[in-house]
Chain A
């Protein structure tokens, strides 16, 4: 909506506009500052990172003294590179995302994001340093490092401590939870939305109470069963009875269930906003409920499903209680792996590495929100939330 289209009476007096913009800026600072600070800490030597002086955390004198730092040229080229890669992404990658269906588009977006991430990482950490080393040597004062910055913690986390394994595990668990949760939840949400029976109502109410349960209670109940499942299931399944403890699949089932109440509530509200006449007319034409669902509802349900899917994603990706207890170390996801840095026997270096790991696990969330931001809003607008 351009300014000209706004009726005169809705235009805002200057004072209000100023106040509203000031408030907005204040909020943005509040929202971003703690995260910015964590980002700054992750690039500093332990002494600087936990320094009580803000300047030291930002400029990192101790880090600089150790020989890790950026010169003006580094910064200029680095910023130029990031700027160019964003431009490139917008110009070349964005058009490629034009798929046919929503689903295809989602996949092509994911592929593009991954490509972009690889490009940036290779560019920033391999190509640029290679160009910059001789350049800095030549440039004299401009080439002298002034801003302390080290990537050693990221190196330690991703290479030495094999964080990529945890990353893979997180991907597996999250992808599993989102897929299963949406499949099961969409069916249930549709069923609940189209049935006015008391049973449907009570299922929803009970689900709501389930959603309010403290997770720690449930999780502690799972552990003995998961560990002994091979013994208990042997009479039924014979020698192939699995030990559920440590299995990502079992954890996916648990997370899906814990997340079901929220999923079915959101999807039910969303399906309620799709006019009932739509599938009824299909049924008049001789479709069964399932056919109506498949051919009439599915094509129009994606905005709501994507929004709900994002909430499932956040739950699975950020979960700590379930994953830390039910997964063994080789299948551990990222969040409990980070908590390991903060246990009783850690060093300050461990803590800064944990900060670097924390930034690392936040990065995919950044990308995700950047890409799906519009879908979240449009999905919610379309009626995924109707109370």
Chain B
């Protein structure tokens, strides 16, 4: 994404980035931030930029740059944007500072839910949650007399019915692009089947009954998908939805807004959302909970940290949320959940609730191993057992190199 250095007054944007939100004070300390580049970050950093003296960087390479840039002394950036995955290296290296005193000073508008605590200390401020949940074509489901699927067996039944009716090209879509996306889809289902990724001694445990069940279920689902599913990322699935080519998908909640964007979508108002389906009876919805939020660098002066946190709070105001209501499932006061957010909220409040994505070094290695090896299972080169054994081997090699085994 490109930075908008100057909030262009009167610029008409197709998306919710809308009118510039005013700032309540004049910032005098020069500050910089490094975050990912999606809509929600654009909204937040735009609101912060209104205070002046602030240079936001929305960079798709932030994952590579952030740990190194925050470890420099002085840190190259004051404010960082993280998710529950990418906060791990910053926590491990101790390059972000505890925020308790700053929250006490400036955090009157924060709800307790937003404070990410590690061993009791506030280390980050969450601004939004994200999760993958079921989105489906409510018009097709109504025509065929189908209910929103509550379990993956329901998904299969619905897919069969839709396939028989022949109303769309492919009944199902999925974010199964090889690499990160495919591994994430595996994770969702694996946790839904009650699996555990690794034991207390860091040894891998994916080659288990839950692992086999997961791959078998994914295989069954894949029959109803576009055969090119191994290159389909979130944007692709979203496009398939918009062009009316698929009827349902377990897709990121942050993608909901695009379904009703008249400029891109031919299915405006025809997409509904429900909680992520269960993989097995009595389990949690087969998905993970994610949060995105702000951190403040450790290697900067206390004055800078003070100014940075004050500025960050200016990015998380009710005004900002109201101007960008559909850009995310906000945790900030003033958020009005829309229809498309209903599924995500139902997912997050389900009992038992889905687990937050586990953010550990081991999980990072496991995620990479899954993403690299599993495509061979879906192209038919390996059986489920072989694939999971190969995942464990790849994980062990990486974990030994990283000193975790």
Contacts and interface: CB of A to CB of B under 8 A. Distances in A.
> Are A and B in direct contact (Cβ within 8 Å)?
yes
Interface of A: 45-47, 50, 159-163, 165-166, 223-224, 227-228, 230-231, 243, 245-246, 324-325, 328-330, 336-337, 339-349, 351
Interface stretch (B56-64, B330-338, B346-354, B356-364): B56-64
Contacts, number: 113
B207 interface: no
Contacts of A324: 60-61
B235 to A, nearest CB: 5
Interface in B13-40: 13-15, 36-39
Contacts of A345: 36-39, 234-235, 254
Given A340-B37, A345-B37, A345-B254, A325 B61 contact: yes
B3 A243 contact: no
Interface of B: 1-6, 8, 11, 13-15, 36-39, 55-61, 64-65, 68-69, 71-73, 76, 233-235, 238-239, 242-243, 254, 258, 261, 263-264, 266
B115 to A, nearest CB: 25
Contacts of A166: 2
A50 B68 contact: no
A330 B57 CA distance: 7
A280 to B, nearest CB: 52
A347 to B, nearest CB: 5
Nearest to A324: B61
Contacts of B65: 223, 227, 325
Listed from nearest, the 7 A-B pairs whose CB atoms lie closest are A345-B38, A329-B57, A161-B2, A343-B60, A348-B264, A46-B264, A227-B68
A329 B1 CA distance: 9
B266 A47 contact: yes
B263 A328 contact: no
B68 A344 contact: no
A166 B65 CA distance: 20
Contacts of A342: 235
A348 B69 CA distance: 32
A231 B68 CA distance: 13
A347 B243 CA distance: 13
B353 to A, nearest CB: 24
Residue of A159, A166, A324 contacting most chain B CB atoms (<10 Å) = A324
A192 B231 CA distance: 48
Nearest to A225: B68
A332 B303 CA distance: 29
B127 to A, nearest CB: 15
A344 B263 contact: no
Contacts of B264: 46-47, 347-349
B235 A224 contact: no
B66 to A, nearest CB: 11
Contacts of B55: 330
Contact of B234 (A245, A246, A344): A344
Given A227-B69, A345-B36, A325 B60 contact: no
Nearest to B38: A345
Residue of A228, A246, A344 contacting most chain B CB atoms (<10 Å) = A344
B41 to A, nearest CB: 9
Interface residue SS majority, chain A: helix
Given A345-B37, A349-B14, A340 B1 contact: yes
B234 A329 contact: no
25 contacts: A45-B263, A46-B263, A161-B1, A163-B2, A227-B71, A228-B71, A231-B73, A245-B69, A246-B76, A328-B59, A329-B2, A340-B1, A340-B2, A340-B59, A341-B1, A342-B235, A343-B1, A344-B234, A345-B38, A345-B254, A347-B258, A347-B261, A348-B235, A349-B261, A351-B235
A161 B6 CA distance: 10
Given A223-B64, A329-B58, A347-B15, A50 B263 contact: no
Contact of B3 (A329, A336, A344): A329
Nearest to B32: A328
A163 to B, nearest CB: 7
Contacts of B38: 344-345
A162 B1 contact: no
Nearest to B17: A160
Contacts of B73: 231
Contacts of A329: 2-3, 56-59
Given A161-B2, A328-B59, A344-B233, A227 B263 contact: no
A45 B266 CA distance: 12
A345 B39 CA distance: 8
A246 B68 CA distance: 13
A243 B72 contact: yes
Given A329-B57, A349-B15, 7 more contacts: A47-B264, A228-B71, A231-B73, A324-B60, A330-B57, A340-B37, A348-B239
Contacts of B64: 223, 325
A162 B235 contact: no
Given A46-B264, A227-B68, A341-B1, A160 B235 contact: no
